[in-house]
Amino acid sequence: MLEFLSRLFGGFEGSKNRAKERLRLVLVHDRASLSPGLVEALKEELIQVITKYLDIDEEGLEVSFDKGDDSVALIANIPVKSVKRSIK
């Protein structure tokens, strides 16, 4: 949670990425009819689970939804730095 807040209120360089992320979340909401809070919670939980097993680049993490005629697909692009050899 602290890392999320530091990313949210971090330096100027990250503001471009945060703005891009917020816009993407709005688009996801429109496409999948999910609340932005639900999408953000889903993303944070995905990060928590995945980082148990992998070292990932959270800045490069992209989560989106693709809405078809009768279904919604979750698409996650997760840059992996390395695989953890032991689980904490």
Judge whether 24 and 64 are in contact, CB under 8 Å. Answer: yes
More confident residue, 15 or 85: 85
The pLDDT assigned to 10 comes to 54
pLDDT at 30 over 80: no
CA dihedral 19, 25, 29, 30 (to 10 degrees): 50
pLDDT at 68 over 80: no
